[in-house]
Amino acid sequence: YDYHRVREMPTAADTRQEKLGEQLQAAQQQMEAVHTERQHLLEQIEVAAEEERTSAARRAELETELQVLTREHRRACEEQGKDPNAIHDDMPIEPDFHGCLARVPLDKPHRQFDLMLLRLLKSKFTPADTEEEVPDASCPKHMCVVRPLTSAAMQAQMLRLERPEQHLVMKVMQNIDSWHFDVWALQDHTAKGALFYTAYALFARYDFLRKFNLDEQVALNFFSQIEAGYHPNPYHNSMHGADVLHIVHFILKPGGLAETARLTDEDLLAALIAGMIHDYDHPGLNNNFHVKVQSFLACLYNDRSILENHHCAEVFELMKHPSFNLLGGLTEPQRRDIRETVIDMVLSTDMGLHAKIFGSWKRRIAADHDLHKRKDSQRLALAMAIKMADISNCGRPESLYLRWSTKLAEEFFLQGDNERNRGDPVSPFMDRFAPSVAKSQIAFMNYIVIPMFESIAEYLPAMHFSVDHCESNKSYWTCNDDSL
């Protein structure tokens, strides 16, 4: 009788049981990942279904319009003795590519907005000189929707506000020149309208509507469509667009870039546009993912700054539509200047280009701090501004920073779930079953954020406090390591 085998049997059974337990745990984790991704996909399906219903309604309208036009065409042909089914030389045979071919996220030109809030915001920054009402017929384009109040009338109106949300929004807007500006609170109190209201407030703050005689209705349409064009991603959503827009403004004005680099009004307008559109139509999957799966966008842009090119192209295509042509009233040289600056700024947010752009910046300021002498130097400074704004969460107060870092981690994990379910290797820092938020954040701050913030602070000393916030936030992860 093999007594040694009797003693070994329990050990072998234990080993098999342990292995089965590990397999069960792995299966459960995979089920959780699939469930999480399913929930995310269901949310996206719901959004897509709403867009599909809107598209179907629009298609029905177009079919009705086509029937009317067809009847009119046949009647006109009969009157002229022409065959209505023949192709005439004066009929177009291909689409008009000069028109707008971009998708329109909303089924109407603009979102619902609180007119009184807009009036208070405009009055806060550009109050009326007199209480005399301007007749509609003689009202300039820049105030064809919202008429400002005088400062005294605004103060009186603030005391008569009936809805508490209006008081809360105006309280948030008091900090629009502060690093602590809270887009989270603004999102909660404006029916998810943080980007729309921040954009309008800043355009009023810079008086752009009047300076460039912009059509106010078109501006409201544009802000609405840009906000609606952001997907409901955990991180790359319209609230992130509002946050980056605000930080670009902070760097320009309180941070001192506008004055130090002697930027023009066209530069400032381009910077705000770039801030609000910089992640328009972001799908929640990064450039590396698109390259790996060779998506349509990866093929379209030849694997080069895929999403950044897409953000710009979609917005400028949208501007071809008269209802959203924000720059329609500007001169051709102004439009070309602003377009080039916006493209430079948005493309610079591609982290794959970080070393190249940051290296150019360090060499430029080492050679000469007077960046106003050359247009390309001013644009490089603006590129650095939006790059800082895009990753500014690391340099924000801890309460804001942790909320953003949690959302970013969730979006990374969703991409990791997608990769795992495709059978692909999970990208670094995107595996929810092997979390390493602390390590990734510390490494990101050490190698990317702090060196860049320090360099910008060398040129703009008023921005140095952001480095201190980074160091404080880095210390948080040192004490709260989430690695398994």
pLDDT digits (tens, 9 = 90+) for 352-381: 999 999 999 999 999 998 999 999 999 999
Q: Residue 32 has what pLDDT?
A: 81
40 pLDDT above the threshold of 60: yes
The beta strands (E) that lie in 15-154 are given as none
* Residue range 107-134: mean pLDDT, rounded: 89
Q: Residue 93 has what pLDDT?
A: 45
127 pLDDT above the threshold of 90: yes
Say which residue, 42 or 446, is predicted with more confidence. Answer: 446
Contacts of 96 (CB under 8 A, 6+ apart): none
Contact (CB, 8 A) for 283 and 314? no
Considering the chain, what is the average pLDDT of its residues?
89
37 pLDDT above the threshold of 90: no
* Residue range 253-272: mean pLDDT, rounded: 97
Place of tokens 């003693």: 7
Q: Which of 429, 345, 441, 333 is nearest to 389 (CA)?
A: 345
Reported as a single tens digit per residue, the pLDDT across 87-102 is 555 544 444 556 665 6
Q: pLDDT confidence of 43, banded at 50, 70, 90?
A: confident
6 pLDDT above the threshold of 50: no
* Residue range 102-106: mean pLDDT, rounded: 70
Q: Residue 54 has what pLDDT?
A: 74
* Residue range 293-303: mean pLDDT, rounded: 96
Q: Which one from 40, 142, 189, 236 is the annotated catalytic residue?
A: 236
Which range in 32-46, 86-100, 226-240 is most confidently predicted, on average pLDDT?
Answer: 226-240
Q: pLDDT confidence of 27, banded at 50, 70, 90?
A: confident
Q: Residue 86 has what pLDDT?
A: 67
Q: Residue 92 has what pLDDT?
A: 47
Reported as a single tens digit per residue, the pLDDT across 63-94 is 787 888 888 878 887 888 777 776 555 544 44
The DSSP code sequence of 248-279 is HHHHHTTT-HHHHTT--HHHHHHHHHHHHHTT
143 pLDDT above the threshold of 90: no
Is 469 among the catalytic positions?
no
Say which residue, 144 or 34, is predicted with more confidence. Answer: 144
Residue 124: count of CB within 10 angstroms of its CB: 20
C-alpha distance from residue 409 to each of 236, 284, 403, 445, 470 (Å)? 11, 12, 10, 15, 18
The per-type count for the chain, helices as H runs and strands as E runs, is: 21, 0
Give the tokens for residue 1. Answer: 């009788």
Q: Which helix (H) or strand (E) holds 216?
A: helix 216-228
Reported as a single tens digit per residue, the pLDDT across 323-343 is 999 999 899 999 999 999 999
Say which residue, 135 or 319, is predicted with more confidence. Answer: 319
- Residue 304: burial class (beta carbons within 10 Å; 0-12, 13-18, 19+): middle
Q: Residue 190 has what pLDDT?
A: 94
Q: Which of 390, 400, 405 is nearest to 448 (CA)?
A: 390
Output the CA torsion 359→379→307→328 (10° steps): 180
C-alpha distance from residue 201 to each of 170, 207, 255 (Å)? 10, 10, 18
